[in-house]
Structure formats: structure tokens, C-alpha cells
Amino acid sequence: MTELRGQSYTAWKKSTASGGSGCIELAQVNEAILIRDSKNPTGSVLNFARLEWISFLAATRTGVFDT
């Protein structure tokens, strides 16, 4: 466990699809999902509510963002 602004979270997890190059990493803080660029771990972190993240994944799986 590590702390981020006083809150504990599990270790950052890198996407299994990343291969050898950089990709995104995820961590969970309470009910929030954090996302960062693995090539820039001290850079900006996106913060999504758990339900927002679940909705995003569902939309991705059903092709909502396909062009």
C-alpha cells in the first residue's frame, strides 16, 4: 500500500496490452479510479468516480467510441 494525498491505494497496475513500451497505469483510491501515463509517473493523474469508470468501460466494450 502507498499513500497519495493522505489516502492509501493499491499499487499502480499497467495495462497487459502495453508490451514493452509505455502505456497507462491504473490505481484505485477508495471509490475513485486513478489513471496516469506510465512514461511520466510524476505527471498528471486523471481521477474518475467508480461509476464513471464503469460507464466508460461499458461504452468502450460496446463500440460507442468506434469511428
- Boundaries of every domain in the chain: 2-61
Q: What average pLDDT values come out for the chain (67 residues) when binned by 10 residues? A: 55 77 84 89 91 95 93
pTM: 0.71
pLDDT at 8: 54
Cβ neighbours, 10 Å, residue 55: 13
Pull the grid cell for residue 66.
Answer: 468506434
Phi and psi (nearest 5°) for 10?
-70, 165
**C-alpha triplet 25, 65, 43: angle, nearest 5°:** 25
Residue 38's pLDDT is 86
Q: For residue 24, which of 40, 38, 13, 10 has the smallest C-alpha distance?
A: 38
Please give the pLDDT value at position 67.
Answer: 82
Q: Which of the 8 DSSP states describes residue 47?
A: E
